[in-house]
Structure 1
């Protein structure tokens, strides 16, 4: 029997409530929702679920509270096959929770409570759980923890992936020199470089990063820097039901592909397909495709 690839993720884990509306509000108003759904969320936790669904042995490092929401986050991660012994429940802490509003087109608006009741100290992290990992992924929400896991991965010869997004540019800048792969959102890349054009942004940021740089552009596809050339992969054509969490699924799938030794191009295609399927299938962790479903989709798209 072939051993499964082992990966780890580090960052935030949420309990999300999704509200469905005909259209996203553009001004203060009252609105009747057409549906409601509760699911797991958070960048690192969602990426971890994607990794597990795609066949990787997955460890998640995160900080949550010892409250009902935290217990539910743990339950949902366990149910998805993610190893949760490094999801630390802090006594008297309040777990992260999110509210996401989704309109008919699949576009969304999100509001997140990041949790409270813990410090940014990363000394408690147990990196013995990283023995045998091939790749790790961290988000920007806790740069002290991300810095520590990137160093621990390097010590073990494992690859590292950073999810670089807009909400904490200072943290992203601290982590740029530490990760083997940095996958930006469009807005993050533009704000860090001052370039709205992907090629100029990637070439500018490459001078400040350690390894491979790329950017996800939603329906615009995936761009990456290959030596001195910016290359582009179109997005898969799908009808989106809910785009929430698509970027997190992308980063999880990208990490699995990197762990399996694939090139940036192949990792980008694999991750783009995983994100597309998630958008097409609906909301929450339950909509993340497994490996057989993803392989079937990719074979049909050739």
Structure 2
């Protein structure tokens, strides 16, 4: 393994319009935002940027349109230090776009739009890129690419992480069977397991898959089984401003920690701290912390 891990991320890309409001709308009408930020997002994209800020060398595989929004997306992600050589752009197709509303408690409402003109065929993804990486991470928004990337990575004996957020259960289950490590969001875990608690979902899903299974539940932290015992590590307590992209930051940090040969408890603690610090800043993934901030948070035992 190289001294600086190289991680390949594959999956979602969006340009997000993020609006800060006092409260999420509950009825038709006009709401005047207190602030607005436009930034490149998407599960894999935000995770790649988070890992880059934390010290990884990263490459992003994703699909966008050949339009002005796409130009902004590539410019922003490139400026973060992510390798954008493997972003495929499609002529005449709009870049995926999300409107995001964040309330004063940090909770959010997301309206994403992915045009059907974005081709799903993953044949253009270079096999050597995956096989030479130290680790890969995929999300469920582009299952065809996730299947290819996970399969190639596992075939090469590499770390292969799945960000299992809410989506079609059959897609999540098929991809989790290919991953070396799967980290579910709590809603996704309970959906695919058919259980009504995070603890029960963690136990059921761990018994179903050969690889590592973890479940994240916001302020309740990350759950996983070790030697048959349920473990739960809470994140640092912070003043929450914006939870958008916190899960993506967790996954990017977790994958980097694994690539650095950290133990599962160490990787979870590192990812918990990164995600918590992100929540203190408005603007989604723009709040991703650097490595020094995360290490300082861990050292202080916050």
Normalising by the smaller structure, the TM-score range is over 0.9
Write out aligned runs for 1:259-270 (5 A): 259-270=259-270
TM-score, length basis structure 1: 0.96
Match of 1:271, SS state, is helix
Deviation at 1:208, TM superposition (A): 2.6
Q: Which moved more, 1:254-263 or 1:111-120?
A: 111-120
Task: Assess if the C-alpha contact under 8 Å between 1:95 and 1:116 holds in 2.
Answer: no
Aligned-residue Cα RMSD (Å) equals 1.4
Partner of 2:258: 258
Write out aligned runs for 1:136-215 (5 A): 136-215=136-215
Deviation at 1:285, TM superposition (A): 3.1
Write out aligned runs for 1:30-49 (5 A): 30-49=30-49
Partner of 2:53: 53
Deviation at 1:72, TM superposition (A): 0.9
Deviation at 1:158, TM superposition (A): 1.0
2:104 equivalent to 1:104: yes
Deviation at 1:131, TM superposition (A): 4.5
Partner of 2:288: 288
- What CA distance in whole angstroms lies between the structure 2 residues aligned with 1:221 and 1:48? 21
**Unaligned stretches of 5+ residues in structure 1:** none
Deviations 1:185-240 (A, max 9, x none): 11111111121222211121123323011111101111111131111111210001
Task: Assess if the C-alpha contact under 8 Å between 1:143 and 1:174 holds in 2.
Answer: no
Task: Assess if the C-alpha contact under 8 Å between 1:176 and 1:208 holds in 2.
Answer: no
Task: Assess if the C-alpha contact under 8 Å between 2:154 and 2:180 holds in 1.
Answer: no
**Unaligned stretches of 5+ residues in structure 2:** none
2:95 equivalent to 1:95: yes
- What CA distance in whole angstroms lies between the structure 1 residues aligned with 2:115 and 2:81? 24
Quickly say closer, same or farther: Cα 1:246–1:43, change in 2 above 3 A: same
- What CA distance in whole angstroms lies between the structure 2 residues aligned with 1:139 and 1:40? 16
Deviation at 1:284, TM superposition (A): 3.2
Task: Assess if the C-alpha contact under 8 Å between 1:21 and 1:102 holds in 2.
Answer: yes
Write out aligned runs for 1:239-254 (5 A): 239-254=239-254
- What CA distance in whole angstroms lies between the structure 2 residues aligned with 1:120 and 1:31? 36
Match of 1:106, SS state, is coil
Partner of 1:127: 127
Aligned length: 301
Match of 2:195, SS state, is coil
Match of 2:262, SS state, is coil
Deviation at 1:27, TM superposition (A): 2.4
TM-score, length basis structure 2: 0.96
Deviations 1:241-283 (A, max 9, x none): 1110100111100110111111221111111100001001221
Q: Which moved more, 1:193-202 or 1:255-264?
A: 193-202
